[in-house]
Structure 1
């Protein structure tokens, strides 16, 4: 039972990679059949430019996660987990979105590539909202957040905790700010 989890990971990775390559083959074959029979004016240059990142990701995942075996068929390396969070998850999302765009192009023609704009558009929107949220959060730390107006000028402009406010209300320990 040694390395049971590694063996399970190797089996799961091999199955996932085989399924991924089969789906990619079917989708790209569908595109080329559609280009040959339905939409003869589909741009191959656009196809290669927009599909190239997904092919690079697919082969990177293959290289990183394909299990390797010793000559005696014992497991040498299980490969990286394909279900990992973070960058691996982002690569899968990009791969799936590219496949969806290729199918859309096969169905409606070159206008379907405009769906690819959603990825950089969403990334730009996410970066903008993160930056503006961070900017407003940092301005609150610098004293420009407007907390003085809510306190009514009490305590030298610094915010009080609920415990401090209760203690001052009872007449107990009063905090002196210098």
Structure 2
């Protein structure tokens, strides 16, 4: 039972990476076969420009997520969790979106590469929402120091204090 979580992570990472490599290989071969066999004009420039970064992302995910074993077959490292949120999740999104664009280019034409423009737009959207969230968080911190009104709902204790006028009662 030792290292059960690490072994499970290693198995899941290996399966995910194998599946991803097979899908990527199939899609790239399909694109190249269609490019070199049919007379439909397909340009290799957008393919290279947009597929190479995705292949680099896939290589990076393989490098950090691939389990490593000792010479005797025991697990040395399970690799990083490929289902992690944050940058890893964004890399998977870019990878899947590019594979979808390759499928669209195979079905339609080179104009489908314009679908890839969604990736930078999505990045701008994520950056904007992050900045606005941080700005909203900092705005709430300074309201008490500046004496400004906040829009937060009042607790029962705060409502009672406001009703009394915040005066202190002394006992005799």
Q: 1:39 to 1:173 in 2, by over 3 A?
A: farther
Corresponding residue of 2:11:
11
Tell me, what secondary structure is at the counterpart of 1:36?
Answer: helix
After the TM superposition, which parts of structure 1 deviate over 4 Å for at least 4 consecutive aligned residues? 129-143, 160-165
**1:39-64 deviation digits (Å, cap 9, x = unpaired):** 54211121011011110011111111
Aligned pairs for 1:108-147 (under 5 A) are 108-131=108-131
**Aligned-residue CA RMSD in angstroms?**
2.7
Which piece of structure 1 moves more, 127-136 or 23-32?
Answer: 127-136
| Length, aligned pairs only | 162
In structure 2, the gaps of 5 or more residues are none
Please show how residues 17-166 of structure 1 align to structure 2 within 5 Å.
Answer: 17-38=17-38, 40-131=40-131, 158-159=148-149, 163-164=157-158, 166=160
The Cα of 1:138 is off from its aligned counterpart by 5.8
Q: Which has the larger radius of gyration?
A: 1
| Counterpart secondary structure, 1:76 | strand
Greater CA drift, 27-36 or 103-112: 27-36
